[in-house]
Amino acid sequence: MYTCGVDVGSVSTEAVILCRDNKDSNAKGRIVSYVIIPTGASSKDAALKAFEEACMKASVSKEDVYSIVATGYGRINIPFANKNITEISCHARGVLNYFSGIKTVIDIGGQDSKVIKLDGFGSPVDFLMNDKCAAGTGRFLEVMARALEIKLEHFGEIFTKTNEKVDISSTCTVFAESEVVSLIGQGIDKNKIIRGLVYSIVNKVISMVERIGLEEPVCMTGGVAKNLAVVKALEEKLGVKINIPEEPEITGALGAAYLAK
């Protein structure tokens, strides 16, 4: 007996196949497989592809998946899904698979960041989302990494190499990119620029955390949770330990698989 969660994000689409001996969404399941693929131009196609690949990887036939929940910004209009549920509920449920009692989830994805307040049992009680623009999200970091010609995966180690930073004054992704390019032109140490960029994102997220009220334990999800520089800066600024799931990018899809009935 399997369920599937598909998280159609702006950057990547994830599918998780969950083995369920018990249909109760609070009962523990077993992750049989998961895939992460780029979303590309069509969210419908990406969703189907992720679902099929996850089935293949798990050697489960599509017919054995009795329920599919879609989540993520592209969750509407996924024809093969039985239901769509927002990322808010899915991330809240997903973290329960790894940690118990989580009270705050910080989810930073490709084009939005969310802070979710939980009841400690996997249900959301309040949330905040960033506004319309890509400032403070994964895409922002992707653009900057490209300008710096440094892989995002390396931000974490670079972050620890220096304590100094240069402030990035623009919040707009386009302006910040030219700011970075000009800083590189001036021969400023790239490590310092990276530190500055990371803090500019983290400050935006922290204002949301403060608005909603920080409660421990805290968990971070979404692709940007793989960016250790962001995690470290957040821990330092908030003064708390941040729990990270084994694969934070699939948290939404995993929660969706749990919520599939």
Ligand X SMILES: Nc1ncnc2c1ncn2[C@@H]1O[C@H](COP(=O)(O)OP(=O)(O)O)[C@@H](O)[C@H]1O
Q: Output 35 or 168, the one with its CB closest to Mg ion.
A: 35
Site string for Mg ion, 3-32 (x = CB under 5 A): ------x--x--------------------
Instruction: Give me the torsion for CA of 149, 165, 167, 241, rounded to 10°.
Output: 100
Instruction: Catalogue the E-assigned strands of 72-214.
Output: 83-84, 104-108, 113-118, 124-129
How far apart are CB 14 and Mg ion at their closest, in Å?
A: 5
Site string for ligand X, 104-143 (x = CB under 6 A): -----xxx--------------------------xx-xx-
According to CB under 6 A, which residues from 141 to 170 bind ligand X? 141-142, 152-153
221 binds Mg ion (CB under 5 A): no
Exposed/middle/buried for residue 59 (C-beta within 10 Å: 0-12, 13-18, 19+): exposed
Helix (H) or strand (E) holding 30: strand 30-38
Instruction: Give me the torsion for CA of 220, 223, 226, 229, rounded to 10°.
Output: -80
Contacting positions for other proteins (CB under 8 A): 73, 76, 85-89, 112, 123-127, 129, 131-132
How far apart are CB 109 and ligand X at their closest, in Å?
A: 3
Alpha carbon of 111 to those of 173, 240, 242: distances in Å? Answer: 11, 25, 21
Q: Which of these, 8, 10, 29, 4, lies nearest to 134 by C-alpha position? A: 10
Candidates 2-10, 20-28, 200-208, 239-247: pick the segment binding Mg ion (CB under 5 A). 2-10
Task: Give the binding site for ligand X (CB under 6 A).
Answer: 9-12, 72, 109-111, 138-139, 141-142, 152-153, 222-224, 226-227, 249
